Amino acid sequence: MKKRILTGDRPTGPLHLGHYFGSLANRVQLQDEFDTYVLVADVQALTDNFDNPEKVKENVLEVVKDNLAVGVNPKKATIFLQSAIPEIAELTVFFANLVTVSRLQRNPTVKDEMKQKNMQESLPLGFLMYPVSQAADILAVKANLVPVGEDQVPHIEQTREIARSFNKIYGNVFPEPAARVGEMPRLVGLDGKAKMSKSLGNAIYLKDSVEELKKKINKMYTDPTRIKATDPGHIEGNVVFMYLDIFMKNKAMLDSLKDDYKKGQLGDVVIKDYLFNEINNFLTPIRQKRETISDKDAMEVLRDGTERASEVTRETMREVRKAMRLL
């Protein structure tokens, strides 16, 4: 039997290049080798958007389309909706006994997000425990491998701890899943901030039009010490060059651009033009594929996937309840 993958996305906006390099590229690459499950995590999205259910709803099909557009194949991968799987909520309740509040408060990703969302003052319980619910996402299908961006690694560690302690107390039911971080574990934002993120507003979306892409690249940070194009430029910490390092295949060409830039012979407008072309070439086939997918198509994929996932999670819960001596 094939080993299983589970990964997922919060439907709080369209997916961006950070998602692509962190996780989407890996799910496409691994979907032949693994029995792959892709979760649209609408319940988790509500943990920090409970007062904005429309936003979550609107983005469910967007996220399905983004997955399909980059090449997640619904014949190989099961794309499914978290809120339609009550077994995940049930498992979350059982797992909540196995985790301490202080352990959750030490989770570095939860800490970062609390700071970013100003939750230090009043922290919703649902938000604090979303890593527990994420462990339930992963273990409800008994996944062995979880392709994720670097920021999610603490959650996978938490998941392993939960699996270990469940198995020890109730008997061996769950695998201890491993994280698989993308080749580019963390893509910096357009503003040079550590992480590309929807909520920071510094992201290039997979569905961005040519015009939107152009606008975003024009606003991108370069070298703040440089006043005129003839001043010597810096490559270190220059966001445009960080991206060119990723997207420009012709390394000899890139090296010569860097040389000219350092000598003050190349303006920001020119290097941004190069970057625009590279990213646009990368996004064009994704955009084209996305245009062929209707809401109805995406809905059908999600419905089929949810049915398949539901069978798997129901089977897991039979084992869980038996192990826990529940009726």
Closest CA to 175 of 214, 142, 199, 212: 142
Closest CA to 18 of 178, 157, 151, 213: 151
Nearer to ligand TRP among residue 183 and residue 291 (C-beta): 183
Which of the residues 17 through 46 are near ligand TRP (CB under 6 A)? 39, 41, 44
- Binding of residue 158 to ligand TRP (CB under 6 A): no
Nearer to ligand TRP among residue 9 and residue 87 (C-beta): 9
Provide, rounded to whole angstroms, the least separation between the CB of residue 301 and ligand TRP: 18
- Distance between CA atoms of residues 223 and 233, nearest Å: 7
- Binding of residue 16 to ligand TRP (CB under 6 A): no
Among 2-10, 93-101, 180-188, 233-241, the segment contacting ligand TRP (CB under 6 A): 2-10
User: What is the 8-class DSSP label of residue 205?
Assistant: B
If binding means CB under 6 A, how many residues of this protein chain bind ligand TRP? Answer: 14
Provide, rounded to whole angstroms, the least separation between the CB of residue 8 and ligand TRP: 4
- Binding of residue 85 to ligand TRP (CB under 6 A): no
- Binding of residue 7 to ligand TRP (CB under 6 A): yes
Nearer to ligand TRP among residue 46 and residue 279 (C-beta): 46
Nearer to ligand TRP among residue 130 and residue 261 (C-beta): 130
Provide, rounded to whole angstroms, the least separation between the CB of residue 103 and ligand TRP: 17
- Distance between CA atoms of residues 256 and 270, nearest Å: 13
Answer yes or no: are the C-beta atoms of 138 and 177 closer than 8 Å: yes
Answer yes or no: are the C-beta atoms of 175 and 163 closer than 8 Å: yes
Among 3-11, 29-37, 97-105, 241-249, the segment contacting ligand TRP (CB under 6 A): 3-11
- Binding of residue 146 to ligand TRP (CB under 6 A): yes
Copy the structure tokens of residue 62.
């967007």
DSSP H helical segments within 171-232, as ranges?
A: 210-219
Q: At what angle do helices 210-219 and 268-291 cross, to 10 degrees?
A: 150
Answer yes or no: are the C-beta atoms of 3 and 34 closer than 8 Å: yes
Task: Among 46, 68, 129, 148, indicate the residue that binds ligand TRP (CB under 6 A).
Answer: 148
Answer yes or no: are the C-beta atoms of 301 and 67 closer than 8 Å: no
Provide, rounded to whole angstroms, the least separation between the CB of residue 231 and ligand TRP: 40
Nearer to ligand TRP among residue 91 and residue 275 (C-beta): 91
Provide, rounded to whole angstroms, the least separation between the CB of residue 104 and ligand TRP: 14
> How many other CB atoms sit within 10 Å of the CB of residue 282?
15
Three-class DSSP labels, 28-61: HHHCCCCEEEEEECHHHHHCCCCCCHHHHHHHHH
- Binding of residue 63 to ligand TRP (CB under 6 A): no
- Binding of residue 10 to ligand TRP (CB under 6 A): yes
Nearer to ligand TRP among residue 41 and residue 203 (C-beta): 41
Burial class (CB in 10 A: 0-12, 13-18, 19+), 126: middle
Nearer to ligand TRP among residue 33 and residue 291 (C-beta): 33
Nearer to ligand TRP among residue 6 and residue 30 (C-beta): 6
Q: What three-state secondary structure class fits 178?
A: strand
Among 5-13, 47-55, 100-108, 240-248, the segment contacting ligand TRP (CB under 6 A): 5-13
Closest CA to 155 of 193, 188, 181: 181
Question: What share of residues in the chain are helix, strand, coil (percent, to 5)?
Answer: 55, 10, 35
Q: Which residues bind ligand TRP (CB under 6 A)?
A: 6-10, 39, 41, 44, 134, 137-138, 146, 148, 152
